[in-house]
Structure 1
Amino acid sequence: MTPSTADHQPQMLVEEFEELARNAPELVRLEFIDGKVVVKPVPDGNHIEAIAWLQQVCMQHRPDLWLYAERELKIEEYRKGRARTDATLAPRRHFVGTGEWAEPDGVLMTVEVTSHDRDTNRRDRVDKPRGYAAAGIPVYLLIDREAGSVTVYADPEKGEYRSVTTRAFGVASELPEPVGFTLETDELKEFAD
């Protein structure tokens, strides 16, 4: 087996990963990306506050939708794996009757907030946009605490988002349909690093 072939061999089956993730200690969060187990740090206080703030904003603008914190999605179209979103916007009661790992169908927006770890660049700025676009999720919102900016990815086609707009914290960002409201980002300055 050549090294390049070995690099694409999954470490384990998806079912084995799901069992491992179910029994992982609360100090870590696990994802299954391109057949490999990835350890994601537990969110810090500013990370949690950014998601709580966004939940409140979404409820004000779109009471028909719910922003679910830390939702597990099957993102198999591109990543052949499992991703834990920091937040997922979907119609209320959308996940009733689903298992721990839900299909991305019907999800309107995924949200990631950058963390303090060496993998955040690749995970949040490269892999997740590709994976979410390949799954057909209409909008991906990246709250980049390190850069002090919000990036809105929209209009997925052929595994890529055709529209990518970055604005500094404090500058309003449009969340296009099917989300459909303007996000005032001034308060995010409090959660920057």
Structure 2
Amino acid sequence: MTALAERPHTLRPEMSLEQFEELARVAMRHDDGPRLEFIGGRLGVKPVSDGDHGEIIMWLQELCMQHLPDLRLYGERGLQVDEYRKGRARPDGALARRRSFGGQGEWADPAGILMIVEVTSYASDTERRDRADKPRAYAEAGIPVYLLIDRDSCEVKVFSRPDGSRYDQRVSVAFGVEVALPDPVNLTLDTEPLKNWVS
């Protein structure tokens, strides 16, 4: 396999990072404006969350507050990702110590993040975005754990041990099975409640 085939995101970007950030600023001025991301040199529109998506994030926030009281699950926080922080993502959740984002601008450095959470939406680009582009971008940013709650396959996928370009460890379990979130999170999730929030 060629280097280009392995890393398609290194092809010519759709726009410059500066152009993306200006476009994102304009979109954010409107309450109903799209939430934009820029991963692998491609512009993406993050779908509007549905009620079940919101319930999953609330469930995780409550678990984190109960079992990890020094940490917070920040929602929709803009992050610098990809190689050399040239991408921009708005994950559904970013687990970090309290006050980790104080003094940072719209696109924060991910250095203090322990885990990223994404919940799949029922969008046409979910396969590429949540299952391919984002794991690579988060691994390149050095984020220790990526938790993907995949409502299409009814699985929880835990990616860990980033090596700078990908996650070396991947575990998938069906909804209803316990799954361990590895160090530095160190939390076991009972995923049974997730069965309530799939269509």
TM-score, length-normalised on structure 2? 0.89
Q: Note the alpha carbon deviations across 1:47-82, whole angstroms, 9 max, x for none.
A: 111111100011111000000011111003178311
103-112 vs 22-31, which deviates more?
Answer: 22-31
Aligned equivalent of 2:18, options 15, 19, 28: 15
| C-alpha contact 1:141 1:150 (8 A) present in aligned 2 | yes
Q: Shift of residue 9 of structure 1?
A: 2.8
Whether contact under 8 Å (2:85, 2:141) holds in the other structure is no
Seen in structure 2, the aligned counterparts of structure 1 residues 101 and 79 have a Cα distance that, compared at 3 Å, is closer
SS at match of 2:156: strand
Q: Secondary structure at the match of 1:127?
A: helix
SS of 2:137's equivalent? helix
Tell me how many residue pairs correspond in the alignment.
187
Give the root-mean-square deviation of aligned CA atoms: 1.5
Matched, 1:28 2:34: yes
Alignment check: 8 A CA contact 1:27 1:42 kept = no
| Structure 1 stretch displaced more, 76-85 or 135-144 | 76-85
Matching residue within 184, 192, 195 for 1:186:
192
C-alpha deviations, 1:8-60, integer Å up to 9, x for none?
33333212211211221425221112222112211111111111110001111
Deviation at 1:192, TM superposition (A): 1.4
Change (3 A) 1:176 1:133: same
Deviates more, 1:34-43 or 1:177-186: 34-43
Is the CA contact (8 Å cut-off) linking 1:74 and 1:103 kept in structure 2? yes
Bigger drift between 33-42 and 112-121 goes to 33-42
Residue of structure 2 equivalent to 1:150? 156
Match of 2:147 among 141, 146, 151: 141
Q: Report the counterpart of residue 111 of structure 1 in structure 2.
A: 117
Residue aligning to 2:133: 127
For 2:67 and 2:120, how far apart are their aligned partners in 1?
24
- Take 1:82 and 1:158, find their aligned partners in 2: how far apart are those partners? 17
Q: TM-score, normalised by structure 1?
A: 0.92
Which 10-residue stretch deviates more, 102-111 or 29-38? 29-38
Using the TM superposition, give the Cα deviation of residue 111 of structure 1 relative to its aligned residue in structure 2, in angstroms.
Answer: 0.5
5+ residue gaps in structure 2?
1-9
Q: Is the 8 A contact 1:73 1:101 kept in 2?
A: yes
Other structure's SS at 1:23 match: helix
